[in-house]
């Protein structure tokens, strides 16, 4: 035998024995550490739980930061989130207040297309952001490396901070995040680079091409520029992008992961490729090139497709305690959010409006709001035959008889469809409605559609007789995406 009789196993070499002892000792230490963590977690759970709002940044341990989801599951208090800044860039103005005033006056930002020659295209009109100089908001050497959608996003973010009277350098970087998405991303950069590739060859392509076209670049460049080290990623859900971004930002603050968030969407698809693609889908209006101001007519019986817009909408969200501590102007509370999917078709909405209906129900529930409390809805209302019909059906499913009492307007009759930027811009509108107690009209609603028989505030603004308490903004996107936000009049503590 190769080992002494009576030994159960052959003796291992000295090095092997030391290795086994070391591994075993490490395993025991890990076990003790795990037991310690388990016991400490148990002690935490036995201690009285406090609302997240009572936990300071210094006190907030890694365990507490991970409590967000568990807090929601246990029904514990969420932090109140307020809107303290609005930044919009649209065809009707370069700030939210000018923009909203123009909406109330019934002005339309849709005109003949100037960003490229539309001679070969079926649609020759658009809602362009004109006279925009990105160098007011971004260093020229940085701006020239990026697409127009990032330019608009940066501009809207800086306008938002200015409106909020907030210097980003005063914020705790790790508690400050940016969620600004885009439905399409850098389409102009793609087109220009393809032209260079085919005419001059691959070696002439800029190394900044890929960063300039991806949909997360706008948000990341804002974060880099402002030094925001909190949550930051790109959200891409077509025309629901801006709404999803705001909703996800809301949750980060509610559950204590951040104190301040810039959130919204940006889009710049008024390009030859963008127009060719949407014309091929027969989604854009092609019948009103001679009358741009009447081309987009949401919920009207004669609607014939959407009109392309561009722009950006960014809101500043803060925890209530953070906003009060710095004496911020508070527009309203962002109280609820939900997201669902139709799981039906890549472009067509659910024929019974069930996906959006469920989204609205969940958003109301998350805000602890009854359907009867809602006074205003900024509708998705794209001026397409299918969307407006099924969106109306969704409202009826959720609000029942109250659906006929709610003021509903689609501002796309004035702004065109901003795709991924729509949610941010339209959320800003809801904030202004709660602030001013007036809501903008749905332009060009002249011929009633039996399938769209609610109060769409046709052509003239509406002034509410008494202060309204709740407004909703909802958006749908290709892929069956649905998203909704619930805003409430702010009540100080």
Q: Which residues are catalytic?
A: 239, 380, 417
**245 burial type by CB count under 10 A (0-12 exposed, 13-18 middle, 19+ buried):** buried
Closest CA to 360 of 323, 328, 319, 399: 399
User: Which residues make Cβ contacts (< 8 Å) with residue 243, sequence separation at least 6?
Assistant: 265, 422, 423, 424, 426, 427, 473, 474, 475, 483, 484, 485
Supply 415's token pair.
């702004």
Q: How many CB atoms lie within 10 A of CB 216?
A: 18
Q: How many CB atoms lie within 10 A of CB 106?
A: 14
DSSP-derived secondary structure for 140-208: HHHHTTS-HHHHHHHHHHHHHHHHHT--GGGS-GGGEEEEEE-SS--HHHHHHHHHHHHHH-GGGS-TT
What is the C-alpha to C-alpha distance for residues 56 and 53, in angstroms, rounded to an integer?
8
What is the C-alpha to C-alpha distance for residues 30 and 332, in angstroms, rounded to an integer?
49
- Residues counted in the chain: 493
DSSP-derived secondary structure for 233-284: -----GGGHHHHHHHHHHHHHHTTS-SEEEEEEEE---SHHHHHHHHHTT-B
Tell me the sheet residues that pair with 377.
408, 472
**CA-based radius of gyration for the chain:** 26
Q: Which residue has the tokens 């065809």?
A: 91
Q: Is the dihedral of CA 244, 245, 251, 254 positive or negative?
A: negative
Supply 128's token pair.
């362009």
What is the C-alpha to C-alpha distance for residues 173 and 169, in angstroms, rounded to an integer?
8
Check if the beta carbon of residue 180 is closer than 8 Å to that of residue 159: no
Angle, CA of 225, 324 and 259, to the nearest 5°: 45
């Amino acid at each position: 035998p190769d080992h002494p009789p009576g030994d159960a196993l052959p003796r291992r070499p000295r090095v092997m024995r030391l290795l086994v002892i070391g591994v075993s000792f490490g395993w025991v230490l890990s076990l003790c550490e795990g037991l310690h963590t388990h016991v400490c977690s148990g002690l935490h759970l036995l201690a009285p739980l406090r609302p997240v709002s009572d936990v300071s940044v210094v006190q907030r341990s890694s365990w507490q930061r991970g409590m967000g989801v568990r807090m929601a599951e246990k029904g514990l208090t969420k932090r109140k989130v307020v809107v303290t800044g609005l930044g919009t860039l649209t065809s009707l103005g370069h700030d939210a207040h000018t923009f909203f005033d123009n909406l109330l006056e019934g002005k339309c930002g849709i005109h003949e297309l100037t960003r490229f020659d539309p001679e070969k295209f079926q649609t020759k009109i658009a809602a362009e952001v004109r006279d925009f100089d990105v160098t007011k908001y971004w260093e020229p050497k940085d701006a020239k490396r990026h697409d127009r959608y990032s330019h608009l996003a940066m501009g809207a973010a800086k306008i938002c901070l200015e409106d909020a009277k907030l210097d980003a350098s005063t914020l705790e970087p790790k508690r400050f995040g940016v969620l600004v998405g885009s439905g399409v991303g850098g389409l102009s950069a793609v087109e220009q680079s393809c032209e260079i590739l085919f005419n001059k060859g691959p070696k002439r392509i800029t190394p900044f091409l890929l960063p300039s076209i991806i949909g997360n670049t706008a948000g990341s460049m804002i974060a880099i520029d402002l030094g925001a080290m909190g949550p930051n990623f790109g959200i891409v859900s077509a025309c629901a992008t801006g709404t999803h971004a705001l909703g996800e930002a809301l949750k980060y603050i509610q559950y204590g992961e951040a104190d301040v968030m810039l959130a919204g969407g940006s889009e710049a698809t008024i390009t030859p490729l963008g127009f060719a693609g949407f014309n091929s889908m027969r989604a854009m209006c092609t019948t009103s090139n001679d009358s741009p101001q009447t081309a987009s007519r949401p919920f009207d019986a004669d609607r014939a497709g959407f009109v392309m817009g561009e722009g950006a909408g960014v809101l500043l969200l803060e925890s209530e305690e953070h906003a009060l501590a710095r004496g911020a102007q508070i527009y309203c509370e962002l109280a609820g959010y939900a997201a669902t999917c139709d799981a039906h078709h890549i472009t067509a909405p659910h024929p019974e409006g069930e996906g959006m209906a469920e989204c609205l129900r969940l958003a109301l529930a998350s805000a602890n709001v009854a359907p009867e409390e809602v006074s205003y809805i900024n509708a998705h209302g794209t001026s397409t035959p299918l969307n407006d019909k099924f969106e109306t059906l969704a409202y009826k499913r959720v609000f029942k008889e109250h659906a006929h009492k709610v003021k509903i307007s689609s501002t796309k009759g004035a702004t065109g469809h901003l795709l991924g930027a729509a949610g941010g811009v339209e959320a800003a509108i809801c904030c202004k409605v709660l602030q001013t107690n007036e809501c903008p009209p749905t332009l060009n609603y002249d011929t009633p559609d039996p399938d769209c028989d609610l109060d769409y505030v046709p052509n003239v603004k509406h002034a509410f007789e008494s202060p309204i308490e709740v407004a909703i903004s909802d958006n749908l996107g290709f892929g069956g995406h649905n998203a909704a936000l619930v805003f409430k009049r702010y009540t100080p503590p």
